[in-house]
Amino acid sequence: MYAIEAENLSKVYRTRTKEEGLGASFRALIKPVYKEVNAVHDIGFTVKQGEIMAFIGPNGAGKSTTIKMLTGILHPTGGRIRVLGLDPVSDRQKLSYRIGTVFGQKSQLWFHLPPTDSFALLGAIYDIDRAALKKRTQELTDLFGLGDLLNVPVRKLSLGQRIRCEVAASLLHAPDILFLDEPTIGLDVVVKQGIRELIMRMNREQGTTIFLTSHDTGDVEQVCRRAMVIDKGHIILDQSVKKLKYDYLNRKIIAVRFDTPPHLKAPVGITLEKLGKTAARLSVDTRICPIDEAMRWLIGQGGVADITVEDPPMEEIITAIFNTAGGEAS
Amino acid sequence: MRHLRKYFTVFRISLENAFTYRSNLIGGLLFYSLFIFVFFNLWRAIYQGGRVAGYSLVQMVWYLCMTELMVFGCRSSIFGQMNEDVKSGSIAYQLNRPYQYVAYQFFNALGGVAFNFLIYGTLAIILGLVMVGPIPGFNFAVLPLALISVILGAVINFFLMMALGLTAFRLEENTAFYLIYQKLVFMLGMFIPLELLPVWLQNIAKWLPFPYVAWAPARLIVAFDFGLFWEVIPMQLIWAVLAIILSMTVYSYGIRGIHAHGG
């Protein structure tokens, strides 16, 4: 059985446009001009129960719009959606008992009150009786390592602590599907990793279906088994993360600074993208040259003063996908 | 009954939350006192003995204390919050929950409103007593009846504000609506009793919802009479029901085409 089914799903926004200048402002006041934006254009996909699905794409690609349609917040302009067999628009309330959402940049906790108050409220909203709520809160406290955080006013929590509480709050009613919209945005590496592990554990231990959007390649690589790539409202790729990793997530960018000008002769699999007097930018093809090998070679050059390793930005990966796979998928 | 727990809980939590805004409260209390004091002096200058539009000076000062209590008491942060939530996209968290959104927001506001009425009500009574002493001929037996009018006034105000606030789902900017609405409540019975307006304007105003927010309850508290009570309460009931229907309608229209921003 499918947890999520979408067919020919579309969303068109109508936004008001205005040319520059005072005259145009006047005209727009009397006769507004509208522009139609195809945020999501005729997409279709299915997600199996218990699957971890990544939905990736650059900003403005239609990721959030899709999540908001799947959770019944936005009404689609066209197409058909079934989430757990329900129509998110007409069965919004019924469905809301069975799904959970986390919006990374937004908060559902009361800012001035400790999370335990927000938990009590959410428990009431989802009709969880007090004993069950207490048990569930304890379970999530242990799982998420929340400890005393639940009794500290939210405004005094760090971003990482707060996000952990946010995710826990979304899981109080034990949803069958958890939708996460950019859950790790703005978090440091350690906290990010913690959140990723939690998501994987939820999936493993409770069988929760995960639908995650992100533009962090790390989220996708480490958490998800399948990925869909969306760009400008179209799905341009839908395949296993394993294959995606091999085909597209196969590069690391190393920026390095030396004490003295080096004499670099890059081995196979490493491309010298930029070379300054004492600094260099390298691109490593990890299929040919694993990252630890690349690092060892670099350290072997001697006199490394500073080094950073990064994933190439999502935008670059999308462009690469679009250039190679763009035609076949759409 | 089990399904009502969510609404009670949000009331309790929002009441708790109201206690955390201390500086806001102190500012409000000072502002309220200053306001009453200025008008007290103005009215004292105007009254050189006798009555104005049937109100004695003592009644007029208490009238002002009560209309201001309606305004300060009904103040709620949820409307500004709703606007912000739509703009920031946080509204997404509020819309996919198993509750009736408008009812939920009513109880959400109620916590703060109950808190305000308690605090400003105490201040109003103290200020009134200090400045002019008790209301002559005040009858505690009819106070519960006047309080019905107070509650209906607050309900009308909440759902009209809600209907205006919900336009944020569709419009980019709706703060002008609040301003216009508040000015109408101010003009039609808050600063000065309705009886001071020209008769033709009074006649129009009595068909509009605005005087029933502040004028009606304040008038019933300072000079209760049954004739007025039976005239005012049905109008308040009608407007309360219309305001509720209006806000539900705006909600169901808004939700179909909401612009959820962010991402």
- pTM exceeds 0.90 for this model: no
Q: Which of A25, A40, A65, A121 to mutate to test the interface with B (most CBs of B within 10 A)?
A: A121
How many CA atoms does the CB half-sphere of B53 hold within 13 Å?
Answer: 17
Asked if A106's CB is within 8 angstroms of B88's CB, the reply is yes
ipTM over 0.85: no
> Which residue in A103, A117, A127 is closest to B92 by CB distance?
A103
CA distance to partner chain A, nearest, from residue B263 (Å): 5
Asked if A127's CB is within 8 angstroms of B96's CB, the reply is no
Q: Which of A25, A89, A112 to mutate to test the interface with B (most CBs of B within 10 A)?
A: A112
- Could you tell me which of B75, B72, B239 has the C-alpha nearest to residue B159? B239
> Which residue in A13, A73, A121 is closest to B92 by CB distance?
A73
Instruction: Report yes or no: A68 at the B interface, CB cutoff 8 Å.
Output: yes
Contact B33, B127 (CB under 8 A): yes
The residues with which A6 forms a beta bridge, in sequence order, are A45, A81
Instruction: Please list every residue in chain A whose beta carbon sits closer than 8 Å to the beta carbon of residue B256.
Output: 75
Contact A69, A81 (CB under 8 A): yes
Q: Which of B78, B95, B96, B171 to mutate to test the interface with A (most CBs of A within 10 A)?
A: B96
> Which residue in A16, A68, A96 is closest to B97 by CB distance?
A96
Query: Tens-of-pLDDT digits for all 330 residues of chain A?
Result: 799 999 999 998 877 776 777 777 777 777 777 778 888 889 999 999 999 999 988 777 888 889 999 998 888 999 999 999 999 989 988 999 999 999 888 889 998 899 999 999 999 999 999 999 999 999 889 888 888 899 999 999 988 889 889 999 999 999 999 999 988 888 888 888 888 888 898 899 889 999 998 878 888 888 888 989 888 888 888 888 888 888 888 888 899 998 888 888 888 888 888 888 888 899 898 888 888 888 888 888 888 889 988 888 777 787 788 777 654 444
Digit-coded pLDDT (tens) for B21-63: 777 788 788 878 877 887 887 787 788 767 788 888 899 999 9
> Which residue in B6, B88, B91 is closest to A125 by CB distance?
B6
How many Cβ pairs closer than 8 A exist between chain A and B? 98
Residue B162 carries which side chain, given as an amino acid letter? M
The 3-state secondary structure of B89-112 reads: CCHHHHHCCCCCHHHHHHHHHHHH
Instruction: Report yes or no: B96 at the A interface, CB cutoff 8 Å.
Output: yes
